[in-house]
Every structure is written in C-alpha cells, then in structure tokens.
Structure 1
C-alpha cells in the first residue's frame, strides 16, 4: 500500500504527524551502522483480547527491530533456502535483504520503475513472492505491471520480464499485492497507489480497481471490481477461501470469498470492519498472511490484527506505526512485519 495514499485529508495528516514523531536514519546497507544485537521495539506491545492468542503468540514474545531508517517498508518475503528476508522500500525504488545476525543490505535497485524522473512518491516494487521455480515475482508500482526477475534470487539484477501489464488493452493502475495458488495461478490486487495522482491521474486507464487471476497458462481474468482500494490478498490453508483487504479509510474492511473449482471467486462476505478505528489509529487494512490453522495475521489500524478463521479478534501486535505487511518464516514460528520506517519481528508458537 502507498504510504501517503489514504483517500481522506485527515488520514494524510495523521501519517505526516507520525513522521514528525519518528527519527529516521539512512538504513544501513554497508553493515557499518545497524547493531547486530536484538533491539526491542519499545513503542509497541502485544495485546490479547482473548486467551486463545497465547496459543499462537507466546506471552513472553517481544516486538524486535531488525531494520530501521527507511522511507516506507513493504513486501516482506522469506526465502527459505537462503534463510533470508527480502523487503521493499517503495519510495527508494529498492529491495533490501536481511539475515539473522547481520545488518540489512541493499539487494536490488531499481525494483519497480526502470525509467527516470518518476513524478510520484512510490516508484518501487510493493508485493514480492516466489513462483514455483523459486524465482522472484514483483508487483511493480512505477512500471504498473507484474514482473519476473530473470536472474536467480542470489544473483539479483534489474532485468525483468513482464508477466502482465494490462487488461483488455488498458494498463493496470499499479499492482500491489499477490498470492500464488498451489496450481500455479497468481491472484493479485490493483489499487491506484503507484499512480502519481492516484484516482485523478491522467494516465489512469481503468475506471475501477480490480482483483485479478493470472493463470499459469497466461490467461488473465478479472475476478471483481467491488473494492475501492483492493490491497492485501491471501488464501485459507485449503485454498477454498480468498481474503482481500480494502485500504479505504471510508470503508476499511476485509472480505472473504469462496474459491470455485475454475479459479473464480463467489459469495463475497464481510470478514471484519475497522472503519471506526481509522480516525484514531495509524494505518488501514493492508497486507495479510494466513497460518497453518487458518488464523489471519492482517495489518490494519494500529498494527497487526490476529483473527481466528471465524473472524474473532484474538489479539493485536500493536506497533504504533502505519503497518503495511507481514510474512512468516518457513516454519511459521516467526512473523516479520513492515511498519513505516521499520522492519520488525515477533516470535510465534512452534
């Protein structure tokens, strides 16, 4: 999601004030500045609304800082074979990498816009994921496309192949987040956050913000246009449900759909509504992930909500920051969180 892309003036002011409170430093990309010791994120806390939370997050868990000083972090992705985290800094048009015991390093630049003199504030890649062959797929804001990095993940280069960039001849707005189904089909959202003037941008070609499916054969299908700002997207463990976040301050919700055998989605229902929280807490529904038991870890106002599959809020990882996205490690015993200028981690139950 775009950091300053909220649809209301009030939300923009809130985010601007949050910057005034946060001392930002240049992220360490040379290994000379960031400490290797664990730093506790004192501004945050883990709050239980139901005792069931402690079966997912140990009571002794703390929110830890693993990187800071960025402009706006997004797209966390765990690379299991390398035991390494990737994440994006969208305004810097860059991707960074992090390993346990090491500092964050610049991984790839440019990440989402290959041209010059981008007029907006969000040129870089947003969501990141791996395809079935272990190659990096990027939701590129600036170039308004889904792209594949053609080099191996441990030999990164800004050499991209377009996977999809238009629907029926009209350019996407700015692909934001995506998820692979086990059959190789790619589902993704397309809000306007990467466009310099967003909804009013003269280069906006579509009159809606869609959710799409790109089949492994390359067929592109529009699944729904019902969202004003479709954002985070994830499947239930059995892939029979698809969750989609809507990052509109006037309708800050998550919806859940039934996934049909042909890959389409039906029977969209409200999963949870946090619109009433938006005036008082930073952030909107954004990235989300689902654990093996079907619990949702969904970024929203104030941090990361932890929902049961039935939509009960068990607790919240309160960051005090506008929180964009999250990702698990391979075993789903660690949650990585991108929040404003920070990258955080929380230990989960094994």
Structure 2
C-alpha cells in the first residue's frame, strides 16, 4: 500500500478510536421529579408505568407516576424497607431494615419469607437481586440495627429460596450493600460501602458462589457518596453509586465514565420507555436521567 494511504488509514483509525473513547452513556443532566423525603432508597420501576421507592426513616414505600411532582403512599408501614424487586409471580419482594425479607401480595398483605440465620436475627437486609428461577440474593449490613438488637457478628451476603432456610454465601465484607446479577445470571456483583470495592462472583450450578474476585472500586466512602446501589446495561456495563456521582465500568472492570450529579446518589433503577431512563434516589429527592444505553432489571 502507498505510504500516504497508510498514513491516512492510521489517522482515520486514531480518529475512530478517539470518537469511541469520547462516547458517553448519557448526554443529559439529571432532573428532579419529586422531593420532600427523609432518605430515599430502593427504587423499582413497575411494568405498569410507575416508580416505587422506599423512604427508610418514614417507614414508607411511595409511588410516583410520571408527569406528577407529587408522590403518594403505596405501603405504610413498610418494615423500614430498602431494596424492592419483583419475583416471577408478580409479587414485590422487600428487604427491610427491621431485619426481615418479605413478600407483598397483590392486596398489599405482607408475608414474611425470612428474618433470621441459624436462629439469629438478620442485621438490616439492604439490597437484593432475584434470579429468573426465584432465587433471592440479598445483602445484610449493620446500617439499620442497634447494638442492643444485633445478634449476628458479621455482615453476610445470602441466598434465599422460598420455603427453605437462608444460606450465607459470603461474609468477607464489612458493609455489603449493592448487589446485582448480570443478564445471563452467570455472575453476581456485590459492593462494600466502606471500602468502595466491587467484588464479582461466578455462580455455581446450585446457585451458590464461587471464589470472589475484585472487579473494580469506586473508592472509600465519602460525604459525596459511597458504593451503594448498582445496575447493569445490555452492553454488560456496570453502574455503581460512589463518591461524587455514578461510576460506570466496562465488562473488564475498567472505569469508562463518571456521571456527575447535583447531590449524593443512594441507588438507581432502570425504567421508562425502552428501559432507557435511570431513576436515581438521593436522601431527599428522586431524579431521572435519560440514557443512551438500555438497562436490564435484575
């Protein structure tokens, strides 16, 4: 090939690589949609077109309908719920700082699924992810339990199969928090608020964890945020709250972007048309952020 053509080809390749590096998952700013809360967490987009989220100190789950600045009470008391998800039968599953994991039937009656491990009260179940076969994985940090009520001297990550005793899968975190399955359900990611580390586990055929590996880190907890809620998109990217915004990692664990936010983020969920909006919880308000990526709900 002519040297000049080689040079032009090389320049075009560099331009292409530079353009790819500059691509972002969003080109918009987060906008507040409802506010006036004590501490919001656990957002969940319902397929009927509305957002549910927990206000932990208020012991309430709220419902927000797009187009409104007001939110209405969906469930109170909520057991000081944090994470909210839905199983394959359409029941809402709550992890609750009252030391419980519960299901909510269509009539909003709460059914206890688990409240202890080997006879000892859970600390404060915090976040969860549900596999397609109904396996519930959840974290149990000590955030919402008093010293007088605390019975477990470790903070575990658990597997719960309905009708069976919970199985503790990992106790190597100080403050396990966010947890999410990948799309194929072959891996699960768990972060630690204190250190900011995000660990990845291979999932064995029986649903338990293989040896963990460090996937990435958002850095130690700070006033501007910490490792907390996590989601994934269809491109295999992992999003985690962290100091000063939302940190985005590719499938190799390399940070490729940080989404700046006006306030500290506590958690997030995909929703809206085509699952291309991130709904973000903060201490006092809910924000929405239009995205280029399409999210997966796990």
Cα deviation 1:176-230 (Å, max 9, x = unaligned): 001101111000000011113xxxx022111100000012453421101001101
State the TM-score, normalizing by the size of structure 1. Answer: 0.74
CA shift, 1:55, in A, is 5.2
Whose Rg is larger?
2
Mapped to 2, the partners of 1:51 and 1:163 lie a distance apart of 46
Which digits, 9 at most, give the CA deviation of each residue in 1:259-285, with x for residues without a partner?
111111112111122335x45x51110
Of 62, 65, 68, 1:96 maps to: 62
Give the Cα separation in 1 of the matches to 2:22 and 2:197.
Answer: 22
Residues 137 and 148 of structure 1 are in contact (CA less than 8 Å); yes or no, is this contact kept in structure 2?
yes
> Structure 2: how far apart are the matches of 1:52 and 1:263?
36
1:148 pairs with 100, 103, 106, which one?
Answer: 103
Distance 1:274 1:335 in 2: 19
Contact 2:104 2:110 in 1 (8 A): yes
5+ residue gaps, structure 1: 1-48, 113-123
In structure 2, distance between residues paired with 1:50 and 1:336: 28
Counterparts of 1:347 and 1:88, CA distance in 2: 22
After superposition, the Cα gap between the structure-2 partners of 1:345 and 1:195, relative to the gap in structure 1 and judged at 3 Å, is: same
- The separation in 2 between residues aligned to 1:193 and 1:53, in whole angstroms, is 38
Deviates more, 1:335-344 or 1:306-315: 306-315
1:235 and 1:340, CA in 2 relative to 1: closer, same or farther beyond 3 A?
Answer: same
Among 74, 79, 87, the alignment partner of 1:131 is 87
Structure 2 partner of 1:202? 148
Partners of 1:108 and 1:313 in 2: CA distance: 38
1:300 aligns with 2:242: yes
Q: What SS class does the counterpart of residue 62 from structure 2 fall into?
A: strand
Change (3 A) 1:90 1:168: same
TM-score normalised by structure 2 residue count? 0.87
The CA RMSD over aligned residues, in Å, is 1.9
User: How do residues 38-187 of structure 1 correspond to structure 2 at under 5 angstroms?
Assistant: 51-52=20-21, 54=23, 56-57=25-26, 59=27, 61-80=28-47, 82-103=48-69, 104-112=71-79, 124-142=80-98, 144-150=99-105, 152=106, 157=108, 159-187=109-137
SS in 1 for 2:211: strand
SS in 2 for 1:226: strand
Gaps of 5+ in 2: 1-17
Task: Write the distance in 1 (CA, Å) between the matches of 2:115 and 2:165.
Answer: 12
Q: After superposition, give the CA deviation of every residue in 1:79-136 in whole Å (9 maximum; x if it has no partner).
A: 01x1000011111111111111123222221111xxxxxxxxxxx1100011111111
Number of the residue aligned with 1:32: none
Where 1:275 maps in the other structure, the secondary structure is coil
Structure 1: which 4+ aligned runs deviate by more than 4 Å?
49-53
Paired position in structure 2 for 1:119: none
Match of 1:258 in 2: 202
Tell me, in whole angstroms, the C-alpha distance in 2 between the residues paired with 1:110 and 1:182. 28
Structure number with the higher strand fraction is 2
Quick one: which of 149, 161, 172 aligns to 1:215?
Answer: 161
Alignment of 1:338 with 2:281, yes or no, is yes
